Amino acid sequence: MSAKPSAHDPASGVPSAAVTARPAPPGLPAQAARLVYAIWSLSTFVLLILVAAVLALVIPWLGWRRASTRACARAWLVLAGLRVRTTGLERLPEGSCVLVANHGSYLDGLVMKAALPPRFGFVIKREAASMPVIGLLLSRIGAEFVDRHTRGGRHRDARRVVERAEQGHSLVFFPEGTFDATLGLKRFHVGAFVAAARGGVPVVPAVIHGARRALPADTYVPRPGRIEVEVLPPIGGRGETPEQLRDEARASILARVGEPDLAPRAVTQADVRATAQDQ
Task: For residue range 106-121, list pLDDT tens digits in order.
Answer: 999 999 999 999 999 9
**Residue 239, phi-psi category: left (phi > 0), alpha (psi -120 to 50), beta (remainder):** left
Distance of CA 31 to the CA centre of its chain: 29
- Rounded average pLDDT over 233-239: 87
What domains can you pick out in the chain, each with its CATH number? 29-263 (3.40.1130)
Task: For residue range 36-94, list pLDDT tens digits in order.
Answer: 999 999 999 999 999 999 999 999 999 999 999 999 999 999 999 999 999 999 999 98
The H-or-E segment that residue 165 falls in is helix 151-166
Residue type at 208 in one-letter notation:
I
What are residue 84's phi and psi, to 5 degrees?
-105, 125
pLDDT at 47: 97
pLDDT at 199: 87
